Structure 1
Amino acid sequence: MALRNAVMAALLEGEASGYDLAKGFDASVANFWMATPQQLYRELERMEADGLIAARVIQQEKRPNKRLFSLTEAGLAAVHAYTAELPSKPSTIRDELLVKVQCVDAGDAAAVRAAVAERMEWARAKLARYERLQAKLLDGRTEEQHLAEAERIGPYLTLLRGMAFERENLQWGELALGLLDRRAAVRSERP
């Protein structure tokens, strides 16, 4: 998947500046796509040159002028074409922490354990952020009401996936820490 598809998905929410997109990426598509602000700004330039988005300049007095981006008809057509394509193979996990866990028996087990615990803290923080976003999306409605009334349900569905991912990270972390602790206890009992 290209970054442009994630940008177009974010712009389905409405007009946004590059800054707002970079900030909003963390609250909207970060549960399935990460990008640095530099990558995002470069992609916005390419997408504008390709006619997928249009920019409108907002004059500001004490700040630099702001450019607000929105999808063009060509951009909406590209979203439609993209969603009609067969998906590529499922993504694979490329996670440095898992490489360290793989090496735990020959490495520094305490450092690996600490890294797993830190990952769990990150997962807790992301899950809390996603739960706040869920409450904001639901806005006092039940999930059934939201699904019946919301103009778009894609953001909610991807949010649920992000929440499930972070819950699974926590579940795996608890399992991994428990097994590491059990193994350390067994090894310490040996003569």
Structure 2
Amino acid sequence: MSLRFALLAALLEGDASGYELSKVFDVSSANFWSSTPQQLYRELERLEADGLVDVEVVPQERRPTKKVLSLNAAGRAALHAFASAPAKPPAMRVELMVKVQAADVADLDALIASVDELAVGSRAKVRLFERLRDRMLGGRGEEEYLRDAERVGPYLTLERGLAFERANVAWAERVHAVLAARRDAGA
């Protein structure tokens, strides 16, 4: 998948400037797609050049002129084609996993610190994603929301992000316990 389709999907939420998109993107897509602001802005320029978004130039007082992007028919068609095509299976490339695989030759204290850092970050994401989920539900039950909401995609991807981060926490806690026991036993 490319950043292009993640941005087009983010524009389903409504028109946005590049800055607004980067903020929304950080929250709504952070659980499944990451990007630097530079990558995001370069891709927004490509979307405009390829005619997949409409751009309105909005002058601002005491601030630079901003561009507000909206998903147009061509962008919607491209997103439809992408979303309708078979998905490739996900691939996992995580540096920490290589380090844990090499645990038998690693400095266990340093490795435990890295695993603990993963757990801390994942716990923070779980809290963030739970707050976002509560905001989305707006007091409704999940089944009611899934039945009646205008859009369910953001909720479903948020649920996957929650499951992923909860699994990270459980795995990190297990690895910490195993590595600490081996360290303490002098292995």
TM-score, scaled relative to structure 2 = 0.96
Quote the sequence identity (%): 53
Mapped to 2, the partners of 1:18 and 1:49 lie a distance apart of 15
Secondary structure at the aligned position of 1:187 is classed as coil
2:58 counterpart of 1:24: no
Which residue does 2:150 correspond to in 1?
151
Cα offsets for 1:71-123 (capped at 9, x unmatched)? 110001111111111112x1221111111111222121100000000110000
Unaligned runs of 5+ in 2: none
Which residue does 1:40 correspond to in 2?
40
Q: Read off the aligned partner of 1:111 and give its amino acid letter.
A: A
Which residue does 1:9 correspond to in 2?
9
Per-residue deviation, 1:59: 1.7
Aligned 1:127-138 pairs, distance under 5 A: 127-138=126-137
Per-residue deviation, 1:187: 2.4
Mapped to 2, the partners of 1:93 and 1:49 lie a distance apart of 32
Which residue does 1:185 correspond to in 2?
184
Cα offsets for 1:26-62 (capped at 9, x unmatched)? 1111111101110011001111111101111222111
TM-score, scaled relative to structure 1 = 0.94
The answer as to whether partners of 2:108 and 2:180 remain within 8 angstroms in 1 is no
2:65 counterpart of 1:92: no
Q: Read off the aligned partner of 1:83 and give its amino acid letter.
A: A
Secondary structure at the aligned position of 1:26 is classed as helix
Which residue does 2:83 correspond to in 1?
83
Which residue does 2:175 correspond to in 1?
176
Unaligned runs of 5+ in 1: none
Mapped to 1, the partners of 2:135 and 2:98 lie a distance apart of 37
Per-residue deviation, 1:124: 0.6
Per-residue deviation, 1:178: 1.0
Q: Which moved more, 1:177-186 or 1:25-34?
A: 177-186
2:124 counterpart of 1:110: no
Which residue does 1:141 correspond to in 2?
140
Per-residue deviation, 1:19: 0.6
- Misfit runs of 4+, over 3 Å: none
